[in-house]
Amino acid sequence: MPIKRSFSNIYSEMDKINVNRKKENTEKKNYEIEGLFKPKMVNGKFSIVLRFLPSHPDEELPWIENRNHLFQLDNGSWFGCDCAKKFNKPCPICDYNSKVWEKYGRTDEARAKVKAKWRPNYYSNILIIKNDNQPDTVGKVYRLQYGRAIMKKIQEAMENKDDPELGIIPGINPFSWWGPNDEAVIKGDEKAGANFVWEAVQGSNGPNYDSSHFNPARRISKFGPDGKLHNLTDDEIDAIESQLYTLKDIEIKEDAIRSYGEVLEFYKKKSGEDLMAEFTDGSSDYAATTKSHIQTEEADDEEMFSGTPLETKKQTVTETVKKADFTNSMPFDEESESQDNAETGMVDATEEDDDDFFARLANG
């Protein structure tokens, strides 16, 4: 039998994820991550049935999160860096944006000045259940890299639903092996999981995943020769568990990112301008800013635009990962829910923040 994992830990750790719904021509680098799944589009679309899997037995959480900033400079080149806020440290790009919103308010001038908000990249283990575009991937375990759009669907699937006909439909654990009829779920020791249908249609700003969804809760399964889903046996689940990848080895570490001052120097090198010039006395030494960075609320934006960074900073964490100045680029960048918001980095200021979303779930 697979090892038992604590679902409550998933809720409590999800609370730490800031999903925030409110919101050179480049040289591509070769980021080698072992077992990374790369979906294939045919005629501008794909539809894949997959299962998010529990954590590796040596790890507690079934995902890791990396954060980066990525945006185009006025000179046409691209700038990218890791966001130190992942480690609760000041980030010069975030600080610059805060200063802009504070000085100009929520105006068009501010929207034109702010840089792209940090973008999260998440990684989880998955099992491919159906993939007509790449049938050789079916039945195999991969690492999946995904962004805000898919994480938002994971979060929503964890919520209870109030259906006018069926009443309260309990939320699922998207990373669970089990279905509603499994003993662990019936006893309340576990929550049921569900297969995820990952659908993408190529849009003007990257693939759009709006039609992606979780199917009704059921035990992890596979398609049989009859074309129907059949639940996996405990032995088959054990075999899949033995193939799980660790995730911590591809998580960006604090000592592997550029320092506050190095990001500012890198920005000046790429753009020819001092990022903070408008908010200082002209000095190019911004090291002190790390101690006095602005804590004002940032305006949140939605899905980031497509793009690939120009330069990398050589850092070795594992033999299978080649680190860059920011996290590994998405195999498919997500299309913004609102093109205007993606371009301006600004959304309606009246939209509420959902930072405490999972705290409320965990507390019932």
DSSP codes joined into one string, 53-82: ----TT-S-S-EEEEEEEEE-TTS-EEEEE
Reported as a pLDDT band with limits 50, 70 and 90, residue 4 is low
- Angstrom distances, CA of residue 236 to CA of 139, 144, 267: 11, 21, 51
Q: Provide the whole-model pTM.
A: 0.72
Query: In sequence order, what are the residues at sequence separation of 6 or more whose Cβ sits closer than 8 angstroms to the Cβ of residue 69?
Result: 79, 80, 81, 82, 83, 91, 93, 115, 116, 117, 118, 119, 326
For the segment 40-44, the average pLDDT, to the nearest whole number, is 95
Q: What is the mean pLDDT of residues 306-329?
A: 30
Task: Give mean pLDDT, residues 89-97.
Answer: 95
CA end-to-end distance (rounded Å), the chain: 29
Question: Over 50: is that where the pLDDT of 161 sits?
Answer: yes
> Averaged over 156-166, what is the pLDDT?
90
Least confident of 52-66, 72-86, 269-283, 348-362: 348-362
42-46, 85-89, 280-284: least confident range: 280-284
With residues binned 3-state (H G I as helix, E B as strand, rest as coil), the percentages for the chain, rounded to 5, are 25, 20, 55
Residue with tokens 């439909």: 169
What is the per-residue pLDDT across 110-119, written as a single tens digit (0 to 9) for each? Answer: 999 999 999 9
Highest mean pLDDT among 274-278, 282-286, 340-344: 274-278
User: Who contacts 270 (Cβ-Cβ below 8 Å, separation ≥6)?
Assistant: 73, 77, 79, 310, 311
Cα 186 to Cα 42, 173, 195, 293: the distances in Å are: 41, 14, 19, 50
How far apart are the C-alpha atoms of 245 and 300, rounded to whole Å? 33
Q: Are strands 45-52 and 196-203 parallel, antiparallel or unpaired?
A: antiparallel
Lowest model confidence (mean pLDDT) among 158-162, 260-264, 301-305: 301-305
pLDDT of res. 9: 62
| Rounded-to-integer distance, Cα 23 and Cα 97, Å | 13
Give yes or no for residue 215 having a pLDDT over 70. Answer: yes
| 315 or 64, which is more confident | 64
Give the mean pLDDT of the chain. Answer: 77
What whole-number distance in Å separates Cα of residue 170 and Cα of residue 291? 45
Domains and CATH numbers, the chain: 7-362 (3.90.198.10)
Q: Where are the alpha helices (DSSP H) in the chain?
A: 7-14, 92-104, 108-113, 148-158, 183-186, 234-241, 260-271, 339-344, 357-362
Query: Looking at the predicted structure, is the pLDDT value of residue 61 above 70?
Result: yes
pLDDT band at 31 (very low <50, low <70, confident <90, very high): low
pLDDT score recorded for residue 32: 79
Is residue 289 pLDDT above 60, yes or no? no
Is the per-residue pLDDT at 176 higher than 80? yes
Which ranges of 105-144 does DSSP label H, i.e. alpha helix?
108-113
21 Cβ contact partners less than 8 Å away, ≥ 6 residues apart: 152, 300, 302, 351, 354
Q: Is the pLDDT of residue 219 over 60?
A: yes
Contact 331, 345 (CB under 8 A): no
Question: How many percent of the chain have pLDDT more than 70?
Answer: 68
Read off the amino acid at residue 39.
P
- Antiparallel, parallel or unpaired: β 119-131 and 78-82: unpaired
Reading the block at residue 3, the tokens are 């090892």
Angle at 211 between CA 308 and CA 347, to 5 degrees: 60
